Amino acid sequence: MLLFLPPDHTWHMGYRGWSLSFAPKIVEGILSSALRFPDNLNPFQRYEEVIDYLNKHEAYQPTQRVFGDE
């Protein structure tokens, strides 16, 4: 039985590793916003803008373990 079929754009780790994935719409939205940041915007303000975007677009999803700890 196949439990998981990774898409073509992922990296496979052959042992107990981890994976990180990003929703393409979220990445596109953040990049689009960042392109409009003024040049003189403070780095902390840039960070706050990105966090606000993530919160407004409900980018945080709960994680779920497929296999328990051994």
Q: What per-residue confidence (pLDDT) applies to 39?
A: 94
Q: What per-residue confidence (pLDDT) applies to 57?
A: 87
Report the SS3 class of residue 33. Answer: helix
Q: What per-residue confidence (pLDDT) applies to 1?
A: 39
pTM metric for this prediction:
0.57
Report how many helices (DSSP H) and strands (DSSP E) the chain contains, helices first: 2, 0
Q: What per-residue confidence (pLDDT) applies to 37?
A: 95
Crossing angle (nearest 10°) for helices 43-56 and 24-35: 140
Compute the distance between CA of residue 20 and CA of residue 28 in angstroms, rounded to an integer.
Answer: 17
For residue 29, the one-letter residue type is G
Compute the distance between CA of residue 53 and CA of residue 48 in angstroms, rounded to an integer.
Answer: 9
Q: What per-residue confidence (pLDDT) applies to 2?
A: 43
Q: What per-residue confidence (pLDDT) applies to 23?
A: 82
**Segments of the chain scoring below 70 in pLDDT:** 1-20, 61-70
